[in-house]
Structure 1
């Protein structure tokens, strides 16, 4: 379908109000300093999750190494793209994935520009990208910078982690139980599954 017949994912003004990675991290840190998290829903549990997530993001910022084949793929792209990421500070999956997305974008030499929006401030956008009817995040939308039309999407988590989550829920696991197992999976995987899936996404762009 010609791009002219495809609706933009969002308006330029809305994109302009999105956060850079640094601004997003500062937003989460500022909320946490007030014992809060991002979004309208506030609780001690969500604040505790956010505190853990900041530690996860700090660790991944320091330890994430982009796979050589992925670094080469993004650096050799002929076109530029916007990576729009739907996220929230309290989301554990986002904490495991957002730093990886940022590292990949940084490795692209300017081919990817990341912008971050909060899920609960953009529910109309989020509801276009539901996962099994759920507002699962993070969600990556790859957009053309001139038209803001979507060319690819990914998320909310690698397929193996998604299947693990579905299996655990089917077994009746509580939130605490499946969160523990999912984060153990992320720790063991060391971002490899996320990077391999994003490599496939990048290879499909051109």
Structure 2
């Protein structure tokens, strides 16, 4: 069974994937073949984004201009498909300014911070919480870009099956290449 860490950096988060995938008897929910396979796929997606992602110059400049220290909390889980397309971008953003620290927290591991950041009453992830150093929330973003959310809601309304929905969202993220996420965050940082 993997060791779950409440707070972690990106390297520890990626190590968690390896612990899950290398374990012949992974714990819940990874003992479910579907969740296990999501995790394997998401590891591959993150690795691809780590190599290919390009941050928008406007966003990079805005992040570099941030003069007050910030702490970003990213709530996620290895099985989350949306997170695999978003977390690499968020981490790369934090690397643009030494005044930004971050930690990754698992949605389903205490202290269950997600309970304070529900989306329409659900524990939807990933979730980005940007705080000042006094612990005040500056803004919260997530669980996915507006375009992906609109697509998800349309697929649900159309009663698309789970596999068709996963493929459609995967295609959306691949075609968008992080552009929508970055545009949304530029608008947040410009407030």
TM-score, normalised to structure 1, is 0.85
Within the candidate set 49, 61, 69, 1:60 is matched to 49
The 1:104/1:127 distance shift into structure 2, 3 A limit, reads same
Name the structure 1 match of 2:171: 184
Q: 2:151 aligns to what?
A: 164
Distance of aligned partners of 1:123 and 1:168 in 2 relative to their CA distance in 1, 3 Å threshold: farther
Specify the alignment match of 1:130 in structure 2.
118
Task: State whether structure 2 residue 51 is matched by structure 1 residue 44.
Answer: no
Q: 1:35 to 1:102 in 2, by over 3 A?
A: farther
Write the deviation string for residues 86-127 of structure 1: whole angstroms up to 9, x where unpaired.
Answer: 0000000000000000111112x2132120000001464212
The two structures have a TM-score, normalised by structure 2, of: 0.92
Q: Runs in 1 of length 4+ with deviation above 4 angstroms?
A: none
Look up the match of 2:88.
Answer: 99
Other-structure match for 1:120? 108
Q: In 2, distance between residues paired with 1:184 and 1:81?
A: 33
1:136 to partner: Cα distance: 0.7
Cα contact 2:17–2:40 (8 A) shared by 1:
no
Tell me the C-alpha RMSD between the 2 structures: 1.7
1:124–1:50 CA distance, 2 compared to 1 (3 A): closer
Unaligned runs of 5+ in 2: none
Bigger drift between 27-36 and 134-143 goes to 27-36
Q: Distance in 2 between matches of 1:17 and 1:171?
A: 37
Cα distance change, pair 199–179 in 1 and its aligned pair in 2 (3 A): same
Cα distance in structure 2, aligned partners of 1:102 and 1:36 = 30
Paired residue total: 186
**Cα pair 2:6 2:109 within 8 Å, conserved:** no
